[in-house]
């Protein structure tokens, strides 16, 4: 029998089918070890077993122990509370790093080749320095830094741009200080009472001071028994109160105060007044209605509204929830007033200087306060010459200053070295710096941290 011979066209088609079959077989082999391209294995993620030490200030050298780090220092991305740290040495099991500036408290992370390990928390110790922003001897002079003169810096506040406003008590003026320390007079002239613009206005021993988001400055004009308002252009008007001094609620210009010593504002534009010689905390609505939030006669008692008793509420401050904290001066205590007028004692016992828990701590002349976003309260004491710190749980410690100093003490330096003389008020800017109205040193002091 003769072999079957396919036509040329049929032979070509048959050969093409064979090629397709071989290609398909090779393709099927890629997934089962048939000789295809195999992707590289995933990198083993790093792991952190410990950090030593776990607390310290800026530039502390910390050793991070663990596994699967890169032996090339630059390949390890180390962060303390989200801030990048410098890696100075590296092995697969150990990294030596320097704590970054202003790290704060938070966890340590290590990222290698896109894989991140989270370790324990590091407790950051802020190192503080006290310096003089403006002022020197007593007097009156606009200028820069030590070239400016004050006579009794009583109240202090800061606006959103970092400008400070201070009540220059015995000069009867409101002064403005730029972040660079340039001092000018916003309003006021001789002692007296007059509304007007700039030097046409008059105050009498202005005390506590506050600024709203629009840059309007509110002043407790203690000698005139009024609350005054100053626009950013320096136009002064009477916000509430009239002569003679006394106690009366009602419409703002019919209400009476007796030696108001401090003002603060809440998020809704209500102004609260430490009406010191009436022993009360007063409230002024944006519509101009004055009422009594808490207090009655002098003494000491927790309670609600008029059932609560203060003994000279000299300084007040609002928190984000609308609670008003009060420096109850002669009771040597820090009190809290809810928006509903319920008064409790959060810290302080008897006269003195003692650190510790809320109920055992002692104050001597608590004055101005500032409340941080973390709920900590910093308060100055005009008799202990210190700045005290209250934690969110109201435990009390000393940030700086030295209790029991003589009248003439004054010194810049570290927190442990700094000395104040009758500090009256405190505020904080957006960067976390504190500013102190150092009354009898006639200076504005700055506490900076890193």
Residue 35 has what pLDDT?
Answer: 54
Cβ-proximal residues to 287 (8 Å cutoff; 6+ apart), any chain: none
For the ranges 22-36, 94-108, 118-132, 174-188, the one whose mean pLDDT is highest: 174-188
Task: Give the CA angle between residues 428, 176, 194 to the nearest 5°.
Answer: 120
More confident residue, 409 or 216: 216
Examine residue 374 and say whether the peptide bond preceding it is cis (omega within 30 degrees of 0): no
Of 22-31, 222-231, 402-411, 416-425, the one with minimum mean pLDDT is 22-31
**pLDDT (average), residues 130-155:** 98
For residue 22, pLDDT beyond 50: no
Task: Show contacts of 180-183: CB within 8 Å, 24+ apart.
Answer: 180/144, 181/133, 181/134, 181/144, 181/145, 181/148, 182/143, 182/144, 183/134, 183/135, 183/142, 183/143, 183/144, 183/148
Residues 114 and 142 sit within 8 Å (Cβ to Cβ): no
pLDDT in tens, 312-351: 999 999 999 999 999 999 999 999 999 999 999 999 999 9
Residue 408 has what pLDDT?
Answer: 64
For residue 17, pLDDT beyond 50: no
**pLDDT (average), residues 119-146:** 95
Residue 406 has what pLDDT?
Answer: 66
pLDDT in tens, 57-114: 999 999 999 999 999 999 999 999 999 999 999 999 999 999 998 888 899 999 999 9
Residue 19 has what pLDDT?
Answer: 40
pLDDT, mean over the chain = 92
**pLDDT (average), residues 265-277:** 97
Residue 407 has what pLDDT?
Answer: 64
Is 0.85 topped by the overall pTM?
no
Q: Which two tokens stand for residue 266?
A: 């809440």
**pLDDT (average), residues 147-175:** 98
> How remote is the C-alpha of 217 from its chain's centroid?
20
| d(C-alpha 244, C-alpha 229), whole Å | 19
Can you name the CATH fold of 128-449? Neuraminidase (2.120.10)
For residue 401, pLDDT beyond 90: yes
More confident residue, 40 or 380: 380
For residue 140, pLDDT beyond 70: yes
Fold identical between 47-124 and 128-449? no
Strand-strand pairing, 313-318 and 324-328:
antiparallel
For residue 437, pLDDT beyond 70: yes
Residue 42 has what pLDDT?
Answer: 80
> How remote is the C-alpha of 99 from its chain's centroid?
22
* Proportion of the chain above pLDDT 70, given as a percent: 91
* Proportion of the chain above pLDDT 90, given as a percent: 85
Residue 383 has what pLDDT?
Answer: 94
Architecture of domain 47-124: Sandwich (2.60)
Q: Where are the domains of the chain?
A: 47-124, 128-449
**pLDDT (average), residues 39-48:** 87
If phi > 0 it is left, if psi is from -120 to 50 it is alpha, else beta; for residue 245 that is beta
Cβ-proximal residues to 39 (8 Å cutoff; 6+ apart), any chain: none
36 — pLDDT class (breaks 50, 70, 90): low
Residue 4 has what pLDDT?
Answer: 42
Strand-strand pairing, 250-251 and 235-240:
unpaired
Residue 1 has what pLDDT?
Answer: 40
Of 26-35, 216-225, 290-299, 388-397, the one with minimum mean pLDDT is 26-35
3 — pLDDT class (breaks 50, 70, 90): very low
Residues 415 and 400 sit within 8 Å (Cβ to Cβ): yes
């Amino acid at each position: 029998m003769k072999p079957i011979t396919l036509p040329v066209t049929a032979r070509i088609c048959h050969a093409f089918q064979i090629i397709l079959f071989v290609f398909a077989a090779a393709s099927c082999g890629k997934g089962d070890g048939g000789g295809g391209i195999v992707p590289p294995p995933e990198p083993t993620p790093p792991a952190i077993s410990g950090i030593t030490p776990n607390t310290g200030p800026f530039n502390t050298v910390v050793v991070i122990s663990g596994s699967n780090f890169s032996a090339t220092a630059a390949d390890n991305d180390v962060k303390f509370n989200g801030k990048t740290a410098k890696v100075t040495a590296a092995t697969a099991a150990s990294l030596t790093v320097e704590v970054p500036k202003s790290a704060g408290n938070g966890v340590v992370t290590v990222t290698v080749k896109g894989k991140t390990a989270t370790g324990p928390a590091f407790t950051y110790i802020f190192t503080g320095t006290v310096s003089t922003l403006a002022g020197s001897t007593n007097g009156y002079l606009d200028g820069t830094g030590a070239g400016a003169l004050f006579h009794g810096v009583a109240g202090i506040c800061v606006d959103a741009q970092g400008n400070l406003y201070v009540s220059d008590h015995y000069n009867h003026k409101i002064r403005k200080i730029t972040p660079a320390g340039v001092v000018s007079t916003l309003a006021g002239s001789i002692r007296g009472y007059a509304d007007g613009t700039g030097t046409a206005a008059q105050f009498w021993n202005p005390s506590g001071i506050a600024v709203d988001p629009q840059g309007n400055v509110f002043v407790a004009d203690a000698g005139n028994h009024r609350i005054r308002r100053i626009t950013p252009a320096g136009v002064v008007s009477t916000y509430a109160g009239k002569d003679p001094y006394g106690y009366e609620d009602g419409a703002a210009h019919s209400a009476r105060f007796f030696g108001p010593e401090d003002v603060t504002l809440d998020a809704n534009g209500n102004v609260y007044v430490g009406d010191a010689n009436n022993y009360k905390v007063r409230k002024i609505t944006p519509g101009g209605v004055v009422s009594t939030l808490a207090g009655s006669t002098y003494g000491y008692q927790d309670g609600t509204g008029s059932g609560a008793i203060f003994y000279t509420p000299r300084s007040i401050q609002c928190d984000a929830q609308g609670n008003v904290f009060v420096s109850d001066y002669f009771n040597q205590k820090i009190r809290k007033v809810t928006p509903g007028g319920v008064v409790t004692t959060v810290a302080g016992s008897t006269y003195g200087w003692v650190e510790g828990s809320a109920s055992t701590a002692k104050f001597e002349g608590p004055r101005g306060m500032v409340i941080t976003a973390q709920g900590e309260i910093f308060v100055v004491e005009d008799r202990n010459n210190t700045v005290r710190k209250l934690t969110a749980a109201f435990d009390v410690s000393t940030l700086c200053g030295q209790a029991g100093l003589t009248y003439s003490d004054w010194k810049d330096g570290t927190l442990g070295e700094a000395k104040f003389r009758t500090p009256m008020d405190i505020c904080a800017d957006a960067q976390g710096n504190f500013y102190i109205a150092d009354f009898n040193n006639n200076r504005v002091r700055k506490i900076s941290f890193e």
